[in-house]
Structures are given as structure tokens and as C-alpha cells.
Structure 1
Amino acid sequence: MTTHPQPVTISVAAAEFGRDMEQGYATIAALLEESRNRGSQLLVLPEACLGGYLPSLGGGDETEESRQRRLKALPPALELDGPEIRRVIDMAGDTVITFGFCEKDGDTRYNAAVTVDGSGILGSYRKVHQPLGENLCYDAGDSYSAFDTPIGRMGMQICYDKGFPEAARELALDGAEIVASISAWPTARTATVENMEEDRWKQRFDIYDRARALENQIIWVAANQAGTFGSLRFVCSAKIVGPGGEILAGTGVEPGLATATVDVAALIGAARGGGMYNLRDRRPSVYRTITKEPIHA
């Protein structure tokens, strides 16, 4: 585990990104400037920053017409080593930035995340868990791995991944101290409410963030899209969660930037030395069905 010896200032965004790439770069630049003004060394941006997300999510109730409309309205596919990613690298300087995009690899598309600074790409990730017909638009990734950065060892997840405890545990066991969980997480599609604070999908989003941080005793940084795109209305709710499950900073249901200065080593050390040793006290030999195909799902 590579621990940054000094406190780290982290900013995380709830911000709106659509198909207009130039507007996306302008939004990134504005958030980067604000994060620098706050002294941040890490800026975490939402899923699908470059080119936006899908205009809708399907499911068993989706009509063929809406499915075809969604498949014709995909975001631009960008190569990991292409000029679009390089443009963010050139903006980054000494700041570590995590952001999402649609990755092109040959004829295949992935919902992807990348962490960069001015030196280049520090880590990349392809979304593993796909909700509500997202598999019709993207192929799935097949691995989780942590990576070293100037501000400590990090891992990445995208949106629906946070609903799977095994995914965050994989990163924690690989030494991740900070996990950037980037999302385009919308409100519920049914039983909708006017007050977003009462939305059940918003509440799930918050529960997952706090649970993943607490059970792995890590710093959890959750970015999300804001505003609306297509039929989706996003819950904002960007936050930084400490290893005890406490929210250190958050945007609530409004767009904006949340910032906290975190002594990563001290907080994680206190959490893991305070009577609950969630990683040390695991008993893998007992968890016999974790990696098997589901029987009762």
C-alpha cells in the first residue's frame, strides 16, 4: 500500500455533461480551476464527462422503438490514447483527475473511467456491472485493480458497480486507500417524487456510498452527473466519505463541488485500529459461494 504522507485535499463534482464536447471541456476547466482555488490535489468528475451518458435506460418494459432510438444516440467513442483524453491530461498539471468517457477499442465500446495527471494516464477501468440494458450499448469490463498515484493508491468504479460489495472489496484488498466512484445515477423511473431528497434511488446511492467506505475502511469519493439528459434526471449527491462511513463533504441534491482535506493514513489507521478489523478478520475459506454462478438469484 502506498500512503501519501501528508493530508490530501479532495474535490468531487456533481455536474452536468452532455454531447457537446467543447462544453464538456469548458466545464472540466471551470471545475479544475475551482478545485485548485480550494487547494485540491485530486478532482473526481462524473461518469461520461466527455460526450455524455445514454439518453435513457432500458429494461423489460422498453419498447423496440425506444430501444432503437437509444442505440442511435450513443456518445462518441474515444480511444484511451487519443487526443480527447490527452486534452484533459494537458489541463491537469499537478492535479490528479478522474473522469468518465465512452472508450473505443477496435469495434468495441466500453463505459470507461481514467485517472490522469499532467504526466499521463495513471490508471484506467472499464465498467463491469451493467444496469437496465446498458449491455446493448457497451461491452463489460472484466477486472478491478488499484494503482499508485502521487496522492496515494487509488481504485475506480462506475455507477452500478457500487451496488456490489465484492467490487469495492477487490479494490481494498489490492491496497486502494481512495476509491473514485463515478456515476450518472438518476432518480427512480417509477413512484417518482418531487422532492429529490425523498427519491428512493437517491437514498440508495447514499447508502451504497457510506456502506462501501465503512465496510472496507477506505476513503470513498462519489461523483455524479447533475441536471437532466434525455429521459434521465440525475440525483447529484456528490460526496466524500470517510472510512467510518461518515460524510466529510457533499453537494446534496444540487450541482457543485464538495471539498475536504483528508489525512488518509491517519483516518484509515484509526478506523482499522479501532476494534473493527474488516479486512484482517475476513475468513475467505468460509465464503464458498461468492465467486460461483448464482443458484437462487
Structure 2
Amino acid sequence: MSRTTFAAAAAGFVRDVEEDFARIGRIVAEARAAGADLLALPEAAMGGYLSSLSGDSPDGPPQLDPDGPEVARLAALAGDMVVTAGFCERGDDASGGLPYNSAVAVTGDGVLGRHRKVHQPLDEHHSYAAGDRFTAFDTPVGRIGMMICYDKAFPEAARALAMDGARTVVCMSAWPASQTDRAPVLSEDRWARRFDLHDRARALENQIVWVSANQAGTFGDMQLVAAAKVVDPGGEILATTGPEAGLAVAAVDVDDAVDRARRHMGHLRDRRPASYAVADA
């Protein structure tokens, strides 16, 4: 049996990239001490997320080059671990100058994979251009896929990665609590419950390992729900930070867990695609 130790971070990040790297360095050290083979940092870990989702965020994140010094610095910190993290990727001609909400997976050897957030909640489209694909890629811990925050609300996104061979999916978020009628206890907030439900459902329906990182604390007008976790292919939570900052750490034999989950009730095998066709409006 070959077990992979996953660490999912719940932590807050800010506009100051130097301060963010100080935080990332501490989290990497903690994950390494826990024996992590893969560390998932949240969405916008390098430069912070939007301060508001109402379309009037006054201070956008710093735009970073996808092959720039910050990504190289993250790779150097990663060393022999796989580390995933979100950042604001500098816009290009195709995006009309808008940046992308992006994520990267690295080791000390360099970049393994990239993702641009496809689905945009509320008014996020005013701040970011959308990505257009979900693609799995090979890493030292097996074939994985990545997505960002609201992407996980769409079953097709995780299914596309599973069909592309991903046995582990890493979802990086800056998922807030409800803006209205917020529960007095963060873990009981309806948006916090939805965050957990999406994580468990996407793991179960695709019979994959799910690693969910999220921002924690407050940023701008948002309270982030934390709740970083590792979920097994049966939808069971193996480790979670709950509503607090920290690391959720769990060791999984990915191939064995996925193969056992799919042995009899194989959700990918038993699909009937011809029955699902619906014409888009």
C-alpha cells in the first residue's frame, strides 16, 4: 500500500505579497512537519481575494505573471511536496485586459499544472475574466485536477476532471458566509453548510479523493468559513479544520480507496450519457 498524506489549509491572506509568502512559508513548514506529500493552499493565497463580491471592490489583487518570480518562489518553498495555490493572473489580449482568477500546482522542479476559474459568482465577472476548461495532469502524487471555489457548485466540472483520469481533485476557495441572515455560529451558517455539502457530494459522485482549502477569518466585507478538509471517495470527511484556521491532514492510499469505491458501484462506468442530453437554452 502506498499512502499519500494530504494537507488542506484554512488561512487568511492579504494584499501584501511579502506578508502572504511569510504566511505560506509557515504553512509549508507545518505541512512538511506533518509529513504532507500534497499541500493545498486557498484561492488567492498570493495577493488576497476581492474585498467584496458586490462589484465595487475598490482594491483589486496584485496581478502576477503566471511564470513570474512569485510562482518560482512558491516552487522553491514546495521542494519535494506538491503545493497548489491561487493567485490573480495578469490579463492578456484574450481577456480584454481583465486578470484571471487562477491556480497553480508546483514542486521544486517547477509547474505541474494550471487552472483558470471558470464559474463566476455574483459580480466577480467585473474583476476577472473566466477560464474555459478543466484538465487533469500528472504529479508525483498521481493524476490530479484543480478547480477554484464556485467551480465546485457545478457537477460537470468535477466530472470532467474525473473523466480525464483525476483520482484526486483539489478545490481552492475564498468561500464566505452568508451576506444576509448570517448564523451566529459560523459552522451553522447556510453558506458554510453548502460548502461542506459540495465537497462531500463531488467526492462521492465521482468516487475520488477531494482536498478542499479555503480562506479563513475576515477580508473586506466577507467572513470566510474556513472548513478546509480531506474527503474520501465515499464522501466521508477524513479531516477538517472546522470553522477555524489550521491544517486538515489525512493519509490515503488513493488508488486502493478509489478502486474499492468503484469496484461494484462504479459511477463513471455506469453512466448513460445518451440519456442526459439536454439542449442548452
TM-score by length of 2: 0.97
Q: Which residue of 2 aligns with 1:283?
A: 272
Q: Which residue of 2 aligns with 1:227?
A: 217
Tell me, in whole angstroms, the C-alpha distance in 2 between the residues paired with 1:105 and 1:116.
21
Displacement of 1:174 in angstroms is 0.2
Q: How does 1:123-202 map to 2 (within 5 A)?
A: 123-202=113-192
Residue pair 2:98, 2:127 contacting (<8 A) in 1 also: no
In the alignment, structure 2 segments of 5+ residues that lack a partner are: none
> What SS does structure 2 have at the residue aligned with 1:135?
helix
Q: Which residue of 2 aligns with 1:206?
A: 196
Q: Which residue of 1 aligns with 2:232?
A: 242
Tell me, in whole angstroms, the C-alpha distance in 2 between the residues paired with 1:87 and 1:102.
15
Letter in 2 for 1:151: V
Displacement of 1:193 in angstroms is 1.5
* Residue 293 of structure 1 pairs with residue 255 of structure 2: no
Supply the RMSD in Å over aligned alpha carbons.
1.0
In the alignment, structure 1 segments of 5+ residues that lack a partner are: 59-66
The percentage of aligned residue pairs carrying the same residue is: 55
Residue pair 2:5, 2:37 contacting (<8 A) in 1 also: yes
Tell me, in whole angstroms, the C-alpha distance in 2 between the residues paired with 1:93 and 1:7.
19
Q: Which residue of 2 aligns with 1:82?
A: 68
Moved more, 105-114 or 247-256: 105-114
Tell me, in whole angstroms, the C-alpha distance in 2 between the residues paired with 1:121 and 1:209.
25
Displacement of 1:105 in angstroms is 3.5
Displacement of 1:293 in angstroms is 2.4
* Residue 271 of structure 1 pairs with residue 261 of structure 2: yes
Q: 1:95 aligns with which of 81, 93, 103?
A: 81
Tell me, in whole angstroms, the C-alpha distance in 2 between the residues paired with 1:223 and 1:92.
16
Tell me, in whole angstroms, the C-alpha distance in 1 between the residues paired with 2:142 and 2:3.
10
Tell me, in whole angstroms, the C-alpha distance in 2 between the residues paired with 1:27 and 1:95.
17
- Say how many residue pairs are matched: 277
Q: How does 1:249-260 map to 2 (within 5 A)?
A: 249-260=239-250
Tell me, in whole angstroms, the C-alpha distance in 2 between the residues paired with 1:136 and 1:282.
37
- Could you list the structure 1 runs, at least 4 aligned residues long, displaced by more than 2 angstroms after superposition: 105-108
Q: Which residue of 2 aligns with 1:42?
A: 38
TM-score by length of 1: 0.92
Displacement of 1:257 in angstroms is 0.4
> What SS does structure 1 have at the residue aligned with 2:66?
coil
Letter in 2 for 1:143: R
Tell me, in whole angstroms, the C-alpha distance in 1 between the residues paired with 2:274 and 2:186.
42
Q: Which residue of 1 aligns with 2:108?
A: 118
* Residue 7 of structure 1 pairs with residue 3 of structure 2: yes
Q: Deviations over 1:224-265 (max 9, x none)?
A: 000000000000000000000000110000000010111001
> What SS does structure 2 have at the residue aligned with 1:108?
coil
